[in-house]
Amino acid sequence: AGWFRRLLHKPKPSSVESLKSSHSASSSPSSSSSSSSAKSSTSSGMSLATSSISLSPVSAPDISASDSPRWDKSYDVCICHSEEDVQLVEELVSYLEGQPESFRCFIQLRDAVAGSAVVTELCDAVHNSHCWVMLITPGFLQDPWCRYQMHQALAEAPMANGRTIPVLKDVDRKDYPRELRNIYYIYMALKEKSFRQIRDTVMRYLQELCRSSTKRME
């Protein structure tokens, strides 16, 4: 009986303590839930942001746009080769001109103006082209006009900035022209692979040309 009377007269918790207690009891889970939700939302946001960054490709310049500096020159590629390699060169030109970018190629036997001086034509072709492919074969090494055109290209752009593209075929590495020793070359073992490498190198140069032009305008 005594303990029952004491229980009836036990003081009730104060209203403040009650509020604290009820707030603590009711808000804790929701707080944890909202915190968890916030974290989840943040995490989700970060995940989406990261995802969007990683999935969005770096936009490549449109080299075929009407205002592209590509059109400042008459040709994208000048092919320097010996007469012995005409058939291989025709295949390369057919490949490049058949690409979606429709690369404009200069080859002397097809594009030189009849009646004009050889030296004039070779110099104009070099000057009016963005890139120069040097098809270095045994015939190239023995042809003085090929070497002349190579020297003209090196004089036009002495630094290796992607414009001069040496392609070695049926030539030992030790016979690689000394004038080109500071420039990496493409070794033609598989024709299709080499054609693709030439295409990619020309494409890379033209895209970089467009980027540089855009930066200067900004």
Helices and strands (DSSP H and E) totals, the chain: 8, 5
- Give a yes or no: residue 81 inside a domain: yes
- Give a yes or no: residue 108 inside a domain: yes
Task: Give the angle subtended at the CA of 163 by the CAs of 195 and 139, to the nearest 5°.
Answer: 60
- Give a yes or no: residue 195 inside a domain: yes
- Give a yes or no: residue 141 inside a domain: yes
Quote the domain boundaries for residue 113.
75-213
Res. 80 pLDDT band, cuts 50 70 90? very high
- Give a yes or no: residue 42 inside a domain: no
- Give a yes or no: residue 218 inside a domain: no
Any idea what the CATH number is for the domain that residue 145 is in?
3.40.50.10140
Task: Answer yes or no: pTM beyond 0.75.
Answer: no
- Give a yes or no: residue 147 inside a domain: yes
How many domains is the chain partitioned into structurally? 1
- pLDDT, mean of residues 63-75: 95
Residue 9 pLDDT exceeds 60: no
- Give a yes or no: residue 33 inside a domain: no
Distance, CA of 195 to CA of 189 (rounded, Å): 11
